[in-house]
Amino acid sequence: MADQPDDHSTAPGGLENLLVEERRFPPDPAFAAQANAQPEMYERADADRLGFWADQARSLLSWSTEFTEVLDFSQAPRARWFADGRLNAAYNAVDRHVEAGHGDRVAIHWEGEQGEVRTLTYADLQREVAKAANTLGDLGVTTGDRVAIYLPMIPEAVIAMLACARIGAPHSVVFGGFSAEALYSRIVDAEARLVITADGGYRRGSASALKPAVDEALTKGETPVEHVLVVRRTGQEVGWTPGRDVWWHESVDAASAEHEPVPVEAEHPLFILYTSGTTGRPKGILHTTGGYLAQAAFTHLNVFDLKPETDVYWCTADVGWVTGHTYVAYGPLLNGATQVMYEGTPDTPHRGRWWEIIEKYGVTILYTAPTAIRTCMKWGEEHPAKYDLSSLRVLGSVGEPINPEAWMWYRRVIGGDRAPVVDTWWQTETGAIMISPLPGVTAAKPGSAQTPLPGIAADVVDEAGEPVPDGAGGYLVLAEPWPAMLRGIWGDEQRFRDTYWSRFPGKYFAGDGAKKDDDGDIWLLGRVDDVMNVSGHRLSTTEIESALVSHPSVAEAAVVGASDDTTGQAVVAFVILRGEAAEKAAAEGGDTAATVAELRAHVAREIGPIAKPRSILVVAELPKTRSGKIMRRLLRDVAENRTVGDVTTLADSSVMNLISAGLHTPK
């Protein structure tokens, strides 16, 4: 059974390093006493799952027409939640807070990379969103039309999304780092009528060009785009197509601040967000309004223990990714939170930039990605040590498995050994957090996402789709529909069914390998496409990476399975060194043989001889997508001596040249 992730606990060599993690962090009683999440939520949801979600949808959202029906799954796998209700997403995120007397509360503390500051209260946001919605109307956009948004991390990104939602025009946000080609294909696939962009944006001190990419995209072929609405951010010279192009500051600023939000059906499309599949063209993941908003609000409130009056929340994700949709644009605003939005990179102009921002705004809740945490580990504790981080009280992680080492560092160095860490598992497709500890309720285990949230039916199954017993591994599935689930792949019903629903009939297949420990807690083991088979033994890339990173000389590691004539696949590791090992390697002209030998032995010790990498390559950088995911596909190309494949989704495509060049330079 070639595809089956096996049961690592019984594998020869004892691949149990993640599961011998004995450290536990029970909730602090003082935290638990004030926590939003309560243990009874699990019982309540177990007893009546649909009733539980109906309660959340009613208590956390304002409906212009109350729903009477909770879930219709008769057309499975297409679900309809709260379908006879009507509501407006922007009204829920903004207007109702102003009506409730919170117009003066800060919604967004925006910080530019160079230290520029903008503060938007809920009243400001309401005015800006209403004006932008009027402009969209003036440009011919009506309910149901698609709008592409291609903006940097500036408040206009959130304003534009909410303006679309206000008139019921689904947005398709395209990450500002994507190429003209990628933008073009997304515009065409979604048939967008309008593109909202900026002249440029700031990243690492220089101005990137966005408008030129839009101009180029629109020359690649026929598109339905009628207008391009352009925010002036950098002031750089841009080309202009009269009649098509419109300045934001001329149109939106002059528009009326009076605008009636359009109530839409709960199942009205809210947005499309493209995400890459394992192969082929990107998939337009479709999310609708009522269910998505209900789960966004519920998870944001309970997983982060948000107290809207006192917390300052900061999610470092770009709005171009799903995390930026659910936990920058929608979740926090639905809950009336005050949040920080930061334009730039963590090391501009210095490596303490994030910690400086946390001190400045008194950030209490931080939500970021393991790759960022490991990068900060690599830079050293001295950077966060310069700032007062004592305001932090909840720390979140998302996007990839977090190795126990990074988890512990996050908790100790950033959280002062005090703030609970929540490792949140979810996907673009799930729309909102699905598996996570609840702060104040769950005794946390470093490296584990642990428990499906109340009302979420996640499980780990074997090849036949049967739940595995505690202590065993398999595939992560979702056995029941959930409110924020994707409603399809835009324009490709068949791909939707094939990708997610065909492997295990009746269950959603997430594409992740996972394991239940002896307590039944879930540990994510990475994508199943990243699982290796070495001499008939299944090895998880994550487990070996985790072992490597637990060595003091390693800052970051990526592991791939390279095809091997003898063993089927062989483990090939790419590591970035830190501290003395890095200095030594540099001083000795790149001779890393001793370190490599030591690391191979270390992995053998940590996991077992079977996991010992065939080769370990010391590199200066790892190829990452702009959302921070390591592109193992490219590393596999290098490991297998192939021409390196498509690098267009890399944050920095020159990284691959560096890695390939390093390999062929005799040491």
206 is an annotated ligand-binding site residue: yes
Write the binding mask 248 to 277 for ligand WTA: x where contact by CB under 6 A, - elsewhere.
---------------------------x--
Q: What share of the chain is helix, strand, coil (3-state, %, to 5)?
A: 35, 25, 45
Binding of residue 428 to ligand WTA (CB under 6 A):
yes
614 is an annotated ligand-binding site residue: no
Q: How far is the CB of 526 from ligand WTA (least distance, A)?
A: 6
Binding of residue 338 to ligand WTA (CB under 6 A):
no
List 398, 406, 539, 570, residue binding ligand WTA (CB under 6 A): 398
Taking CB under 6 A as the binding criterion, the range among 14-22, 128-136, 419-427, 586-594 that sits at the site for ligand WTA is 419-427
Contact between 458 and 435 under an 8 Å Cβ cutoff? The reply is yes
Q: How far is the CB of 428 from ligand WTA (least distance, A)?
A: 3
428 is an annotated ligand-binding site residue: yes
Would you state the structure tokens that stand for residue 222, as one six-digit string? Answer: 């026929």
Contact between 94 and 123 under an 8 Å Cβ cutoff? The reply is no
Binding of residue 423 to ligand WTA (CB under 6 A):
yes
Would you state the structure tokens that stand for residue 524, as one six-digit string? Answer: 């994510």
114 is an annotated ligand-binding site residue: no
Q: How far is the CB of 542 from ligand WTA (least distance, A)?
A: 8
In whole angstroms, give the CA distance from residue 215 to residue 223: 12
Binding of residue 527 to ligand WTA (CB under 6 A):
yes
In whole angstroms, give the CA distance from residue 267 to residue 270: 8
Distances (CA, A) of 20 to 204, 257, 446, 557: 41, 59, 11, 21
**269 versus 628: smaller Cβ distance to ligand WTA:** 628
Residue identified by tokens 């910080």 is 111
Dihedral angle over CA of 144, 146, 152, 154, nearest 10: -20
Site residues (CB under 6 A) for ligand WTA, limited to 616-655? 627
Binding of residue 318 to ligand WTA (CB under 6 A):
no
Residue 549 phi/psi, 5-degree rounding, is: -70, -20
In whole angstroms, give the CA distance from residue 189 to residue 181: 12
Would you state the structure tokens that stand for residue 356, as one six-digit string? Answer: 């400086």
Binding of residue 427 to ligand WTA (CB under 6 A):
yes
**352 versus 437: smaller Cβ distance to ligand WTA:** 437
Q: Which residues contact 498 (CB under 8 A, 6 or more apart)?
A: none
In whole angstroms, give the CA distance from residue 353 to residue 546: 27
- Residue 364's nearest CA partner among 331, 338, 382, 402 is 338
336 is an annotated ligand-binding site residue: no
List 410, 426, 490, 508, residue binding ligand WTA (CB under 6 A): 426
**322 versus 532: smaller Cβ distance to ligand WTA:** 322
482 is an annotated ligand-binding site residue: no
**305 versus 400: smaller Cβ distance to ligand WTA:** 400
List 208, 424, 553, 649, residue binding ligand WTA (CB under 6 A): 424
Site residues (CB under 6 A) for ligand WTA, limited to 179-218? none
Residue 229 phi/psi, 5-degree rounding, is: -100, 125
Give strand ranges (E) for 133-258.
146-150, 171-173, 192-198, 200-203, 206-209, 227-231, 245-247
DSSP codes of every residue in 247-308: EHHHHTTTS-S------EETTSEEEEEEE--SSSSPEEEEEESHHHHHHHHHHHHHHTT--T
Q: How far is the CB of 205 from ligand WTA (least distance, A)?
A: 27
252 is an annotated ligand-binding site residue: no
Binding of residue 234 to ligand WTA (CB under 6 A):
no
Q: How far is the CB of 435 from ligand WTA (least distance, A)?
A: 7
Q: How far is the CB of 295 from ligand WTA (least distance, A)?
A: 13
Q: How far is the CB of 367 from ligand WTA (least distance, A)?
A: 11
In whole angstroms, give the CA distance from residue 119 to residue 665: 51
567 is an annotated ligand-binding site residue: no
Taking CB under 6 A as the binding criterion, the range among 87-95, 398-406, 464-472, 543-551 that sits at the site for ligand WTA is 398-406
List 126, 288, 323, 375, residue binding ligand WTA (CB under 6 A): 323
205 is an annotated ligand-binding site residue: yes
Site residues (CB under 6 A) for ligand WTA, limited to 273-312? 275
Taking CB under 6 A as the binding criterion, the range among 17-25, 329-337, 486-494, 505-513 that sits at the site for ligand WTA is 505-513
List 210, 524, 572, 655, residue binding ligand WTA (CB under 6 A): 524
- Residue 549's nearest CA partner among 421, 400, 420, 437 is 400
- At how many degrees (to 10) do helices 49-60 and 40-47 cross? 120
Taking CB under 6 A as the binding criterion, the range among 165-173, 295-303, 424-432, 650-658 that sits at the site for ligand WTA is 424-432
**516 versus 612: smaller Cβ distance to ligand WTA:** 516
Would you state the structure tokens that stand for residue 361, as one six-digit string? Answer: 């705004």
321: amino acid identity, one letter: W
64 is an annotated ligand-binding site residue: no
Q: How far is the CB of 17 from ligand WTA (least distance, A)?
A: 16
Q: How far is CA 321 from the centre of its chain?
A: 6
426 is an annotated ligand-binding site residue: yes
In whole angstroms, give the CA distance from residue 338 to residue 120: 10
In whole angstroms, give the CA distance from residue 436 to residue 537: 29
Binding of residue 449 to ligand WTA (CB under 6 A):
yes
Q: How many CB atoms lie within 10 A of CB 258?
A: 9
With H, G, I as helix, E, B as strand and everything else as coil, classify residue 553: coil
Binding of residue 425 to ligand WTA (CB under 6 A):
yes
Taking CB under 6 A as the binding criterion, the range among 1-9, 259-267, 504-512, 652-660 that sits at the site for ligand WTA is 504-512
In whole angstroms, give the CA distance from residue 285 to residue 272: 5
Would you state the structure tokens that stand for residue 609, as one six-digit string? Answer: 């001889």
236 is an annotated ligand-binding site residue: no
Q: How far is the CB of 525 from ligand WTA (least distance, A)?
A: 8
214 is an annotated ligand-binding site residue: no
Binding of residue 324 to ligand WTA (CB under 6 A):
no
Q: Which residues contact 528 (CB under 8 A, 6 or more apart)?
A: 3, 5, 475, 511, 512, 513
List 512, 517, 543, 637, residue binding ligand WTA (CB under 6 A): 512
Q: How many residues bind ligand WTA (CB under 6 A)?
A: 20
49 is an annotated ligand-binding site residue: no
**290 versus 401: smaller Cβ distance to ligand WTA:** 401
Residue identified by tokens 């009628």 is 226
**334 versus 618: smaller Cβ distance to ligand WTA:** 334
Q: How far is the CB of 26 from ligand WTA (least distance, A)?
A: 21
Residue 370 phi/psi, 5-degree rounding, is: -55, -35
In whole angstroms, give the CA distance from residue 390 to residue 208: 35
Q: Interface residues with ligand WTA (CB under 6 A)?
A: 275, 322-323, 398-401, 423-428, 449, 510-512, 524, 527, 627
Residues contributing to the annotated binding site for ATP: 399-401, 423-428, 512, 527, 538
Q: Which residues belong to the annotated binding site?
A: 203-206, 323, 399-401, 423-428, 512, 527, 535, 538, 549, 551, 554
Task: Give the residue numbers of the binding site for Mg(2+).
Answer: 549, 551, 554
